[in-house]
Amino acid sequence: MGASLSRFGRLIKKPLQTQGSVDKLLESKPITAPKHASSLDAIERLRSETAEEFKKRDSKDDSFLNMMKDIKIESTDINIEKETFKKNQESKRKLPQARHPPGNIPTQVREGKISTQNLTELFQKQMNSPDR
């Protein structure tokens, strides 16, 4: 009884807790990670040296924005022949071949063990006549 009651309580509380934490995150402003003191000094020095570039970066360029609004992009599909996607069967180049025989089939098997070839034969016999 206690386990089912606590499970029911979790089902009720979990969505409310999740909603509360999401609301809290959305209301608060993001906080930057703390920086080392030497990094702060270097950033302040660069800001003071390049104050004009920072102002230029942060300001809006109305003429550029108006030019961007005037641009209109139209896209059309290109007609591609289906023959270009076919496999290149005309190639006379041979496929690469392995330098070793396929698989790792041992020639000698220890006593009490079974080789893969014998195992496949046993499976085939079992599939052909399951009554034996």
CA distances from 114 to 101, 102, 121, 128 (A): 20, 19, 11, 20
Alpha-carbon span 129 to 132, nearest angstrom: 6
In the chain, domain spans: 37-71
Residues 5-60 have pLDDT tens digits of 888 888 888 888 888 888 888 888 777 888 888 888 888 898 899 988 888 888 88
Task: Report pLDDT for 82.
Answer: 65
Residues 107-132 have pLDDT tens digits of 788 888 888 888 889 999 998 888 86
